[in-house]
Chains A and B, each alone.
Chain A
């Protein structure tokens, strides 16, 4: 094989190597990379969510996340099913008036092991306010090792006391710092919770 033929062969090989990824690129179907059985399972969960009036995006998103993190199809299907069941339980717990964000955050809290009763308490204490942020923070604290009951009681007390979203969203970082410094997770939360000023609505002046 002379030099020119070698060059042509290398050029052709290169061109094929360059073109192949474009030609093989996956289409817009977010579930295209799942195996057939897992894909069927996930699709049925999406259909079920849609039929029950639950938000489908968290279900689809969890499947996409699993694919992107190179998780096997059966594991993705199992986790997506957990998300679906959590969404269903969150709506049963928070009521049909719960918005999509509350359902998503509620499902995350339930997956973290927060008892449904804690969600109901937050809902009642919220005086009509969105409980999305308390639920997000609650799930975070439990993920960091704070005992569920301790976390549930502390967040409920802060919420009843009028703590704002910014106060609550600052808790995870502060608690994490204390945990890294050696504090027990539950103690870290209780200590930090004491530093948040209570902002109860002003009492009604008797007429």
Chain B
């Protein structure tokens, strides 16, 4: 029976107050990765499979939703493998602060013996510094099924990120605490520290461990790299030797705006809360990406502007203009002008180096600026310019 707790009610009220009438900017990206996967788990023979991994993502300024799954063909039959549905709601940043609620439902599948499901929810408070770095604190709870864990898993942690050139560096500390059914004695026959004895051979044990992890994401032009490494703190009852340290990396080489080659490999640590063992893996595949075009009926969309290679503007119907910026290797592009009452509008990524926004620009003379990765507002390249009076410049558009 569902029990409505005060904390749940408070969160629900916060959500109702938060969710706006509509998203000011949003984009949908869908990807399909097809390739080969090899993995090895201690105690099991190495396995290889052909995998198909579809991934759909909706990115709005407030709401983000993603769904990702994978299916493996191993021998003669297809096997529905990993899958995850995620949603997050983020408040606008005010005074460098924003809040985020994240919910996930996931299924993990290593093999017939190692598979289970989990739902989890997290809340984060972010402190952002000029889009170039930030910190967050998080707390959350996870509930796995079909494992020996008999309580919800309490999650608490903190993280920090910064952008250096084209790289984003992230460091996290996450603590996990839960109750699980464990053997009363360890492998040497010594009695385990248990909170409650369930029978002669097993007991309830409080487990906790902490992960420290660093990740780097770097991209330039048609090339992307993601790498991560981590270390796990905890006693030997909770942390297996093969999960003390781990590292993995992947590279994406874009052959065109819609197709890329993906290669990766490394070690994944065990997930004690889900009863999943550590494993080594390697994968090689091809990724197809789709960046659906916006329609006129859609809501107008949504650090280095001098690096913009091309700026275009064209009619997108009776009342909208399609503004396009060509620049690669950036995280965000914004446009603002007198036609937006000088409110920044986030552009939507439509390709590897193509960003686009539909904005209502009437006939006449208009002034505008663009910025990249939250940097300085600058006039778009190729457009006539004039001084803005504020020690900067604006671009000038003449719309017929």
Interface residue A111 (Cβ < 8 Å from any Cβ of B): yes
B contact residues around A11 at 8 Å (CB): 6-8, 10-11, 123
In the complex, the answer to whether A101 meets B6 with C-beta atoms within 8 Å is no
Interface residue A23 (Cβ < 8 Å from any Cβ of B): yes
In the complex, the answer to whether B386 meets A111 with C-beta atoms within 8 Å is yes
Interface residue B388 (Cβ < 8 Å from any Cβ of A): yes
Q: Nearest-CB distance from A110 to chain B (Å)?
A: 11
Q: Nearest-CB distance from B382 to chain A (Å)?
A: 5
B contact residues around A173 at 8 Å (CB): 381-382
A contact residues around B139 at 8 Å (CB): 7, 10
In the complex, the answer to whether B364 meets A101 with C-beta atoms within 8 Å is yes
Interface residue A50 (Cβ < 8 Å from any Cβ of B): no
The CA of A19 and the CA of B388, in the complex, are separated in Å by 35
In the complex, the answer to whether B390 meets A65 with C-beta atoms within 8 Å is yes
Q: A140 — nearest CB in chain B belongs to which residue?
A: B384
- Bitwise, A102-143 to B at CB < 8 A (1) or not (0) is 001100100110000000000000000000110011011001
In the complex, the answer to whether B99 meets A68 with C-beta atoms within 8 Å is no
In the complex, the answer to whether A30 meets B123 with C-beta atoms within 8 Å is no
Q: A80 — nearest CB in chain B belongs to which residue?
A: B389
Interface residue A204 (Cβ < 8 Å from any Cβ of B): no
A contact residues around B341 at 8 Å (CB): 30, 61, 64
Q: Provide a sorted-by-A list of 17 A–B residue pairs whose CB atoms are within 8 angstroms.
A: A11-B7, A11-B10, A15-B10, A15-B11, A16-B14, A18-B15, A18-B18, A21-B98, A22-B18, A61-B342, A65-B367, A65-B390, A67-B342, A69-B377, A101-B398, A136-B396, A136-B398
Interface of B with A (CB < 8 Å)? 5-8, 10-11, 13-15, 17-18, 20, 89, 91-94, 97-99, 101, 123, 125, 139, 154, 336, 338, 341-344, 364-365, 367, 377, 381-390, 392-394, 396, 398
Interface of A with B (CB < 8 Å)? 3, 7-8, 10-25, 30, 57-58, 61-62, 64-69, 71, 75, 79, 82-83, 100-101, 104-105, 108, 111-112, 132-133, 136-137, 139-140, 143-144, 165, 169, 172-173
